[in-house]
Amino acid sequence: MNGKVINSCLIHDIAKMKFKNELLIYMMKIISNYYWFIIDNLAFKLDKLAEMYYKKSIGSQYRMEYQTFNILKNDKVLHIGSGAFPLTEITLAEEIGTTVIGIDKSRKAVVSANDVVRGKNLQDKIKINLGNGKNYSIKEFDVIIVSSCASPMIEIIEHVFKNSKNNSKIIIRAIETSLEPLIESINQQSNIILVKKIEHHPFPFLKPFGWQSFYLLKKQ
């Protein structure tokens, strides 16, 4: 077998392996997003689930996030991808009194989330709006949080990188099996600095099914 044939076979095998890896990553992201969709909607419908599991287990991860990344009471926060049960917003509003605007492109999720907010009497701290993270106006916010379920992720974070104000904090959550495109996008930005990151593995999110939070700072 000559060299050209061997090289052709290697290229074919590498391309095939790359396709399988990309397909696996895609499927893992679909499964993760579907899981969050189910949990969000169950938490909205079942108060005991929301209090016993969702707020304690997942809420503890969001608490670690705002403490580690130093989100303050006076920060104006935008959360892209709030879902039907806006736990990020509730955690920030109840525990440190932060004003938060959440957006979701699902009208049904927005209606459900606002019902939850009203049920907890947090209307003065939390607003949930219908909006798309690809083009939502973000100039006024001190902190922008992008959920791992926000889609299309890369288009959203490119919009955030480009249009957020200088010195804003950008927090991006991403499932561990699909970190590579996010890291590549961050590395392409000369004015986006990675400050810290956290790994999250609450039950049942054992490796490699957990997620990571990236704390980024936009410099001038």
Q: For residue 150, what are its two tokens? A: 């926000």
For residue 20, the model assigns a pLDDT of 45
The pLDDT of 97-116, averaged and rounded, is 94
In the chain, domain spans: 3-218
Q: What sign does the dihedral 69-165-188-36 (CA atoms) show?
A: positive
The three-point CA angle 97-99-105 to 5° equals 135
Q: What sign does the dihedral 39-72-95-204 (CA atoms) show?
A: positive
pLDDT category at 53 given cuts 50, 70, 90 is: low
SS (H, E, C) the chain: CCHHHHHHHHHHHHHHHHHHHHHHHHHHHHHHHHHHHHHHHHHHHCHHHHHHHHHHHHHHHHHHHHHHCCCCCCCEEEEECCCCCCHHHHHHHHHHCCEEEEEECCHHHHHHHHHHHHHCCCCCCEEEEECCCCCCCCCCCCEEEECCCCCCHHHHHHHHHHHCCCCCEEEEEEEHHHHHHHHHHHHCCCCEEEEEEEEECCCCCCCCCCEEEEEEEECC
- Whether 181 shows a pLDDT value over 80: the answer reads yes
Place of tokens 């904090």: 169
The CA distance from 13 to 212, in Å, is 31
The CA distance from 120 to 176, in Å, is 32
**Contact between 161 and 190 (Cβ < 8 Å):** no
Neighbours of 49 (CB within 10 A): 15
183 or 204, which is more confident? 183
Q: 3-218 adopts what CATH topology? A: Rossmann fold (3.40.50)
**Contact between 68 and 62 (Cβ < 8 Å):** no
The pLDDT of 122-142, averaged and rounded, is 97
Q: What is the pTM of this model?
A: 0.79
145 or 84, which is more confident? 145
Q: For residue 157, what are its two tokens? A: 């974070």
The CA distance from 23 to 26, in Å, is 5
For residue 36, the model assigns a pLDDT of 57
- Whether 19 shows a pLDDT value over 50: the answer reads no
Percent of the chain with pLDDT over 70: 72
For the chain, the straight-line distance linking the first and the last C-alpha, in angstroms and rounded, comes to 57
